[in-house]
Amino acid sequence: MPRWLRRSHVVAPILTVLVLAACSDTSSTASAAGPSGSGTCTPAETPIINFAAYSTPREVYGKIIPEFVSQWKEDHDDQNVIFQESYAGSTTQAANIIAGYEADVVALSLGPDVDEIASAGLITHDWTKEADDGMVSTSVVVFDVRPGNPDGFTDWDDLTADGVEILTPDPASSGGARWNLVSAWGAALRGHAGVGEGDEAGAQALLEGVLGNVVVFDKSARDSIQNFESGIGNVAITYENEVLTAQEAGLEDEAVYPPSSVLIQNPVAVVDANVDKHCVREVAEAFVEFLHTPDVKALYTEVGFLRSTDLAEAQAGGGQFPPIEDLWTVDDLGGWDGLTQELFDDDGIVTQAIAG
């Protein structure tokens, strides 16, 4: 047998692998970026919507989606719509979408996660210009305490006391964690929790004190509260709706409301690149619109225990929602960009405090 043929069985496969490796396309822009046409695609008979949400509102969307599907059916000649839902941490979802998960609609825990998707070129419209600034639900930060609040927690500085064991999710992996810590930071800067108004050093000391007492950094807000329920720690920093959901499930969680809290605002947005690729823009946009209708807002409140997207209404509360003394948004602190840089970047206050 000729030598080249004898060698070929080794060389050919090795060459194949090397060629494949060399053909790697690391400099390409995401092939999913950019709409595929100007609305000239043909929609499928049964549109499929890929819906990616953070983990907390799973039950809520479990109720909302069937409502939308049946309404769409009524209005559109009995056309069925299929939703493929995925629930994971907010930042994880955003990262997956950027990495290639072709979600058509995203419902995340905080704005910056949606902004990341936009920076990757997948969202090309200004999602904050939609109804309610692009937000569909809100909540506030509370302390989940043992029944009767035996430790007497009332505000953030109580959490810095010696021996207090705090549960809160890890800001690196959980959007919810950032809300918690931003709330502490903002409350301090606004003159609560024993810190003078505008006193940055005091606010930093408060954050460091709180973080120093954290015994478990969980993957998500839900993990935090569940670990708390299984007996770990004295207090879990979490959202109001998490506590109310737990109470609804018959558990013993009790909420303590610090006087000053950030308004947790949860965005929903259509992912342009994917809806155009899948030709489901009409349905996707209708769905997002649907989420801003009063009936659905009622569902957010009833099932998800989420507050109104209107600041004044959210502050006033009503029903099972106590009024909040001082309710503010991240914009009052200058917006997420500045906060992320100051608190959560590698050399940010929070990251350094956790590492130290």
Partner 1 sequence: MARHLALRGAAILYLGLIVVLPVLAVIREGFAGGLAALREALAIPYAWDAIRLTLITSILAAVINAVMGTALAYVLVRFRFPGRRVLSSVVDLPLAIPTLVTGLMLVSLYGPNGAIGGWLAERGIQVVFTKFAVLLALLVVTLPLVVRQVMPVLQELDPAEEEAASTLGANAWTSFRRVVLPAVRPAVVGGTLLTFARCLGEFGSVVLISGNLPGKTLTAPVFIFQLANQFRPAEAAAVATLLFALAFVLVLVTARLTRRREDA
Partner 2 sequence: MSAVAARDAVPTDLERARRRRRLVRSLLVIGCVGYVAVLLLLPLIGIIRTALEPGVGIVRETLTLPEVRHAFYLTGIITVITVVVTTVFGLIVAWVLVRQRFHGRAVMNALVDLPFALSPVTVGLACVLLFGANGWFNEFFAARGIQIIFAVPAMVLVTIFICVPFTIRELVPVLEEIGLDEEDASRTLGASLWQTFFKVTLPNIRWALGYGVALTTARAIGEIGAVLIVSGLIKGKTETATIFIFTAIEERQTAEAFVVALVLAAISIVLLVLLEAFRRRSEKGRGHTT
Q: Does 94 bind partner 1 (CB under 8 A)?
A: yes
28 binds, among partner 2, partner 1, none (CB under 5 to 8 A by kind): partner 2
Q: Does 22 bind partner 1 (CB under 8 A)?
A: no
Q: Does 112 bind partner 1 (CB under 8 A)?
A: no
Shortest CB 324 distance to partner 2, Å: 26
Instruction: Tell me how far apart the alpha carbons of residues 233 and 171 are, in angstroms, rounded to a whole number.
Output: 19
Of 16-24, 147-155, 290-298, 316-324, the segment contacting partner 1 by CB under 8 A is 16-24
Please name which of 135, 140, 222 lies closest in space to residue 173, comparing C-alpha atoms: 222
CB closer to partner 2, 31 vs 119? 31
Collapsing DSSP to helix, strand or coil, 215 comes out as strand
Instruction: Tell me how far apart the alpha carbons of residues 184 and 167 are, in angstroms, rounded to a whole number.
Output: 14
Instruction: Tell me how far apart the alpha carbons of residues 229 and 196 are, in angstroms, rounded to a whole number.
Output: 34
CB closer to partner 2, 26 vs 38? 26
Please name which of 197, 205, 221 lies closest in space to residue 157, comparing C-alpha atoms: 205
Handedness of CA 100, 104, 107, 113 (dihedral sign): positive
- Do 236 and 223 touch, CB atoms closer than 8 A? no
CB closer to partner 2, 158 vs 223? 223
Q: Does 180 bind partner 1 (CB under 8 A)?
A: no
Collapsing DSSP to helix, strand or coil, 169 comes out as strand
- With a CB cutoff of 8 Å and minimum separation 6, the contacts of 228 are 144, 167, 235, 236, 238, 253
Of 75-83, 95-103, 279-287, 333-341, the segment contacting partner 1 by CB under 8 A is 95-103
Of 8-16, 138-146, 237-245, 304-312, the segment contacting partner 1 by CB under 8 A is 8-16
CB closer to partner 1, 231 vs 319? 231
Query: C-alpha angle 282/283/284, rounded to 5°?
Result: 95
CB closer to partner 1, 95 vs 251? 95
Among residues 19, 45, 230, 319, which is the contact residue for partner 1, using CB under 8 A? 230
Q: Does 28 bind partner 1 (CB under 8 A)?
A: no
Locate 312 and state its tokens.
């004044």
Shortest CB 95 distance to partner 1, Å: 5
Helix axes 111-119, 90-98, angle to 10 degrees: 10
Instruction: Tell me how far apart the alpha carbons of residues 53 and 33 are, in angstroms, rounded to a whole number.
Output: 21
Instruction: Tell me how far apart the alpha carbons of residues 267 and 132 are, in angstroms, rounded to a whole number.
Output: 9
- With a CB cutoff of 8 Å and minimum separation 6, the contacts of 288 are 105, 130, 268, 269, 270
Q: Does 251 bind partner 1 (CB under 8 A)?
A: no
CB closer to partner 1, 17 vs 298? 17
Ramachandran class of 215: left when φ > 0, alpha when ψ lies in -120 to 50, beta otherwise: alpha
172 binds, among partner 1, partner 2, none (CB under 5 to 8 A by kind): partner 1
215 binds, among partner 1, partner 2, none (CB under 5 to 8 A by kind): partner 1
Binding site for partner 2 (CB under 8 A): 10, 20-21, 23-26, 28, 30-32, 50, 55, 58, 84-88, 96, 98-102, 120, 219-220, 222-223, 226, 246, 249
User: β-strand 235-239 against 260-270: which pairing, if any?
Assistant: unpaired
Q: Does 17 bind partner 1 (CB under 8 A)?
A: yes
Q: Does 354 bind partner 1 (CB under 8 A)?
A: yes
List residues near partner 1 by CB under 8 A: 1, 6, 8-10, 12-14, 16-17, 20-21, 24, 26, 89, 91-92, 94-96, 98-99, 116, 170, 172-173, 214-219, 227, 230-232, 346, 351-352, 354-355
